């Protein structure tokens, strides 16, 4: 199993550009989520999904969109990048069979917005 994969690993954007961060998992997990981690900070939940076709907002959803058309993929779209979105983005997945307690994280995408 590859686990949770994220692409790209690094990205530099200009203010106003849009892009999609990719996340995929091969563990057949129902629950998937996106977090951002700013320097010296914890993880803040952006959006999450408990299954295909179901998404919900987390703590900091503004400026981001998600969709969940398949169990495996959960892309995060930045609509119009802003310097405040410079961060490291982590995708995670877990099985609702374990009540979502143990999340498996991807390696992260380091995003810089100029």
Partner 1 sequence: GESVGLHLPTLSVQEGDNSIINCAYSNSASDYFIWYKQESGKGPQFIIDIRSNMDKRQGQRVTVLLNKTVKHLSLQIAATQPGDSAVYFCAEISLSGTYKYIFGTGTRLKVLA
Residue numbers 49-88 binding partner 1 by CB under 8 A: 50, 56, 58-59
Min dist CB 88 to partner 1, Å, is 9
Closer to partner 1 by CB, 17 or 100: give it.
100
Least distance to partner 1 from the beta carbon of 98, Å?
A: 9
Q: If you write DSSP's letter for every residue of the chain in order, what string do you get? A: ---EEEE-SEEEE-TT--EEEEEEESS--SEEEEEEE-TT--EEEEEEEEETTEEEE-S--TTEEE--SSSSB--EEESS--GGG-EEEEEEEE-GGGTT-S-EE---EEEEE-
Interaction site with partner 1 (CB under 8 A): 4, 31, 33, 35, 40-45, 48, 50, 56, 58-59, 90, 92, 96, 99-108
């Amino acid at each position: 199993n590859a686990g949770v994969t994220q692409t790209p690993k690094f990205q530099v954007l200009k203010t106003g550009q849009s892009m999609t961060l990719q996340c995929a998992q091969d563990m057949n997990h129902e629950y998937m989520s996106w977090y951002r981690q700013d320097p010296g900070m914890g993880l803040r939940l952006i959006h999450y999904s408990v299954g295909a076709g179901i998404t919900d907002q987390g703590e900091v959803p503004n400026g981001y969109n998600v969709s969940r058309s398949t169990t495996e993929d959960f892309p995060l779209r930045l609509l119009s990048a802003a310097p405040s979105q410079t961060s490291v983005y982590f995708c995670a997945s877990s099985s609702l069979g374990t009540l979502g307690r143990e999340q498996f994280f991807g390696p992260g995408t380091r995003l810089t917005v100029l």
